[in-house]
Structure 1
Amino acid sequence: MNILYLHGFRSSPQSMKARLMAAHFAATSHRFVCPQLPASPAAAMALACEFIEDRGDAARDWALIGSSLGGYYATWLAERYGCRAALLNPAVLPADDLAGYVGEHTMYHSSEPFEWRAEHLQELLDLRIEHITQPERYFLLAATGDEVLDWRQMRDHYPGARQHIIEGSDHAIGEFAAYVVTVANFCVEAIR
């Protein structure tokens, strides 16, 4: 199984959750990939599609893990390719959430600058999935204490999906180490 991890806005493969998942899968026979995503949502999805299409049958050989904005991306990819997606505090309406961020920023895990442009908001809207299909392909891990995104939007956007709602916590899911095995097991389960 190939696992593609998609990080969030301003994040990177150096995020705590990405590093924990990479360490877990390093001890298995599964291939874990976590690229640095470009700021442009269209470019980020082109890169993700390239990974998926270059190796194996998408629905059978790939699973996705998406955190925050990466969860929004993972939903689009899961619908496109029919693969599984574990979503960690996923963004549901990121064009709204990120409208006020147009301008220059730096990455969280480095001082590398990047520009979030107004046209990126339209690129996000172009990736919008109004309703998921085959909810059994999805696992939602959402925290009621998320200070960035509304966990109720997440819960309601993934009806019928396997869901674990954490009471409290935060957007980063600070205790994510306790959920690594659950997320990993979902990714490698056979789809019934």
Structure 2
Amino acid sequence: MLHYIYLHGFASSPNSAKARDMRDRFARINTTIKIPDLNAGDFSHLTITRQIAQVLAEFPRDSQPLTLIGSSLGGLTAAHIGQKSLQVQRLVLLAPAFGFLSHWLAKLGEEKIQRWQQEKYLPVYHYKEGRELPLHYDFLIDAAQYQENGLKRPIPTLILHGTEDEVIPISASREYARLRPWVELIELDSDHSLGNVTEEIWQAIHRFCQLPESCKI
């Protein structure tokens, strides 16, 4: 039995547009895909380490192989889980947040980062809640340890990334793929949301994951 787990992005949820689309498409081919809520009821104390532990707890107990599909920060998390667990035999990364700290912190600015460190919480807009929620500074401290240079396990990996991505530049995925021959990068005419290329994404996942032709949409 093939197992699939989808990891949503930062300040998102299992009800995001990409998560719903993935759930619907897998349902149409009678294949189960787990989509855990990585907010875990406490977005304010989110860390990548917590996400990794939460997803590992979803793994089948009998060591059956699985595929992780991750979006943005979920993609980065999936890549690090693949480094830790041999059960992960394929990765599909949608606009993965490689180097996200350098991009995000540059946008925040030094003054706001210092205030975050002093006050311990930073207001972050959460798309599911439709409002700002406080995020603890521990998120930043924890995230700093997850660097791409440690990702060296040759897991078959498919990356789909928009050339007009305004959050994580396409150059981040290009550099990641350039150094890893087991990575296939597909560049799409889209932004970070990838909302206009859902069909292209599905076709690429269908091929990469070797889903049965009879199930093809």
Both proteins in one fold, TM over 0.5: yes
Which has the higher Rg, Structure 1 or Structure 2? 2
1:96/1:116 CA distance change after superposition, 3 Å: farther
Return the offset for 1:42.
Answer: 1.8
For 2:96, the equivalent position in structure 1 comes to 90
- Return the alpha-carbon distance in structure 1 between the equivalents of residues 54 and 135 of structure 2: 18
For 1:24, the equivalent position in structure 2 comes to 25
Q: 1:115 aligns with which of 123, 134, 137?
A: 134
Query: How much is the aligned-residue C-alpha RMSD, in angstroms?
Result: 2.2
1:171/1:42 CA distance change after superposition, 3 Å: same
- Return the alpha-carbon distance in structure 2 between the equivalents of residues 183 and 141 of structure 1: 9
Return the offset for 1:55.
Answer: 3.4
Return the offset for 1:187.
Answer: 3.4
Return the offset for 1:182.
Answer: 1.9
- The 8 Å contact of residues 7 and 38 in structure 2, kept in 1 or not, is answered as yes
For 1:55, the equivalent position in structure 2 comes to 61
- Offset from partner CA, 1:43-85 (integer Å, 9 cap, x none): 1111011112x4342xx52111111111110110111113211
- Offset from partner CA, 1:66-111 (integer Å, 9 cap, x none): 1111111011011111321101111111232343385123421233
For 1:45, the equivalent position in structure 2 comes to 52
1:55/1:32 CA distance change after superposition, 3 Å: farther
Deviates more, 1:81-90 or 1:120-129: 120-129
Give unmatched runs, 5+ long, in structure 1: none
Matched residues, percent identical? 26
- The 8 Å contact of residues 91 and 158 in structure 2, kept in 1 or not, is answered as yes
1:32/1:112 CA distance change after superposition, 3 Å: farther
- The 8 Å contact of residues 105 and 115 in structure 1, kept in 2 or not, is answered as yes
- Return the alpha-carbon distance in structure 1 between the equivalents of residues 210 and 5 of structure 2: 12
- Offset from partner CA, 1:1-53 (integer Å, 9 cap, x none): 1111111111111111111111111133432111111322221111011112x
1:86/1:107 CA distance change after superposition, 3 Å: same
For 1:11, the equivalent position in structure 2 comes to 12
TM (norm. structure 1) is 0.85
1:135/1:25 CA distance change after superposition, 3 Å: same
Count of matched residue pairs = 185
Q: Secondary structure at the match of 2:33?
A: strand
- The 8 Å contact of residues 95 and 122 in structure 1, kept in 2 or not, is answered as no
The letter for the 2-side match of 1:31 is T
